[in-house]
């Protein structure tokens, strides 16, 4: 019994065409329901960073203190040849952290400018659903209020969707 062979592209054509269409449709549907962010903690406040921002985590790098600056501006550090300001949000926002020895430095690139923020522990990948969005923003430090557009509640954690770019522009103009 002899069978005639056909090219794989013809044999699988119907399967892949319908499979690709359904995969694209389901991916588009999932994108409207769920969004991935990078999240980091400052005390009990969770901050979300959109994935479009380049960010990296490191242990606390050496920081050179600047004279006559507020104590929440810890100083400047060298990040691969870039001079980067380092901020302590615990001091800036007036909140107390339980962790001092496990802090990490989160460096974020905003419009080709880097900033570093101390985080209480390692950042995490956060998946937020539309259903997790809170109806109103809970009490947060005054400095953050104009820059928080949404909040998400997941179990006992609250994540702030904040305008990091606008916040640091405001901070630069009001320092």
The answer, as to whether pTM is greater than 0.85, is: no
Q: Does residue 84 contact residue 76 with C-beta atoms inside 8 Å?
A: yes
Helix (H) or strand (E) holding 8, with range, is: helix 8-33
User: Given pLDDT bands bounded at 50, 70 and 90, which one contains residue 32?
Assistant: very low
Q: Which two tokens stand for residue 39?
A: 């999240």
Mean pLDDT: which of 8-12, 24-28, 123-127 is highest?
A: 123-127
C-alpha distance from residue 43 to each of 96, 104, 121, 164 (Å)? 7, 12, 10, 18
Q: Which two tokens stand for residue 55?
A: 């960010």
The DSSP 8-state label assigned to residue 133 in this structure reads B
Q: Answer yes or no: is pLDDT of 33 > 90.
A: no
CA angle 25–28–32, rounded 5-degree value:
140
pLDDT in tens, 58-95: 887 899 999 999 999 999 999 988 899 999 999 999 98
In the chain, domain spans: 32-173
User: Given pLDDT bands bounded at 50, 70 and 90, which one contains residue 10?
Assistant: low
Residue 33 CB-half CA count within 13 A: 6
Superfamily covering domain 32-173: CheA-289, Domain 4 (2.40.50.180)
pLDDT in tens, 130-167: 888 999 988 999 999 999 989 999 888 889 999 999 99
pLDDT given at position 23:
52
Residue 17 or 84, more confident: 84
Q: Answer yes or no: is pLDDT of 11 > 90.
A: no
Mean model confidence pLDDT for the chain: 82
């Amino acid at each position: 019994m002899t069978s005639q062979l056909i090219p794989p592209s013809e044999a699988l054509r119907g399967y892949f065409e319908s499979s690709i269409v359904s995969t694209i449709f389901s991916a588009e549907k999932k994108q409207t329901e769920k969004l991935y962010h990078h999240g980091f903690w400052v005390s009990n406040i969770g901050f979300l960073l959109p994935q479009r921002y380049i960010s990296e985590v490191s242990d606390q790098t050496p920081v050179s203190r600047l004279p006559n600056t507020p104590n929440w501006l810890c100083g400047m550090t060298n990040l691969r040849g870039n001079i980067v300001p380092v901020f302590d949000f615990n001091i800036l926002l007036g909140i107390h952290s339980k962790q001092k020895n496990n802090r990490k430095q989160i460096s974020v690139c905003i419009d080709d400018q880097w900033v570093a923020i101390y985080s209480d522990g390692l950042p995490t990948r956060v998946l937020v659903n539309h259903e997790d969005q809170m109806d109103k923003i809970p009490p947060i430090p005054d400095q953050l209020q104009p820059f928080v557009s949404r909040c998400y509640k997941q179990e006992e954690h609250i994540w702030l969707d904040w305008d990091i770019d606008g916040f640091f522009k405001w901070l630069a103009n009001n320092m």
